[in-house]
Amino acid sequence: MRSGFLWFLPVLFMMVSLVSGAESDLSKRRVPDKQIKDIQKLKNPFEASSENIAKGEALYQTKATCFTCHGKEGRGDGLAAPGLDPSPRNFTNAAFHAMRTDGELFWVIKNGIPGTAMMPMVGSVITEEEAWLVLLYERSLGRRK
Ligand code: HEC
């Protein structure tokens, strides 16, 4: 009988909300105050051509491993996301993109965010050039509906 296990839905919801954290405050800057002015000025050396965005997507979905946490479609819902607190950033949120320059996002990919699952990726997993390409893809997600 279908209604037999409906009671379980609120229980399931409570369990899920207990183990998965929320996204952290968007207004909190990641780059230390001392560096922020210089970092904000950094420009992506690659143009946002469809070819470069495709290269970035190919990296995101494979070698760069971003998809495991940020999700195949960048919604912050990857396989490793449940249980992470704060949860991985949702790259389809236009407000997120509006609040960060390319330089700030590059800095995070390079240095990670201490105290979170966001590790430094440049050097260990991808090169600086690959990070800029991945970033083109990440930015394109914020423009999709
Ligand atoms: C092991 C899980 C994990 C992987 C793999 C991962 N991330 Fe993250 N990422 C996170 C989490 C968790 C946050 C949220 C941290 C916070 O809110 O402080 C985050 C945040 C970010 C942010 C936003 C920082 C900000 O300014 O708010 C960017 C950009 C980012 N990740 C890019 C990437 C890219 C690009 C890759 C692949 C090269 C990647 N991440 C791989 C877990 C991960």
Q: Is 126 helix (H, G, I), strand (E, B) or coil?
A: strand
pLDDT per residue as tens digits for the range 26-38 = 988 999 999 999 9
Say how far apart CA 78 and CA 68 lie, in whole Å: 5
CA–CA gap between residue 132 and residue 134 (Å, rounded): 6
Residue 108, ligand 1, Cβ within 6 A: yes
The per-residue pLDDT for range 66-96, each reduced to its tens digit, is 999 999 999 999 999 999 999 999 999 999 9
Task: Give pLDDT tens digits for 16-62.
Answer: 555 567 999 998 899 999 999 999 999 999 999 999 999 999 999 99
Distance in Å, CA 20 to ligand 1 centroid: 15
Name beta bridge partners: 91.
Answer: none
Q: By the 8 A CB rule, do 118 and 36 touch?
A: no
CATH architecture for segment(s) 2-143: Orthogonal Bundle (1.10)
Distance 9 CA to ligand 1 centre (A): 30
69/66 Cα distance (integer angstroms):
6
Tell me: pLDDT of 3 over 90.
no
Give the phi and the psi of residue 82 in degrees, each rounded to 5: -60, 130
121 CA to centre of ligand 1 in angstroms: 9
65 lines ligand 1 (CB under 6 A): yes
Rounded to two decimals, the pTM is 0.88
Whose Cα sits closest to atom 36 in ligand 1? 66
pLDDT at 15: 60
Distance CA 108, CA 36 (A): 12
Question: Which residues 6+ apart lie within 8 Å of 136 measured at CB?
Answer: 44, 46, 48, 52, 53, 56
- CB of 78 within 6 A of ligand 1: the answer is no
DSSP state of 123: T
Ligand 1 centre distance from Cα of residue 80 (Å): 12
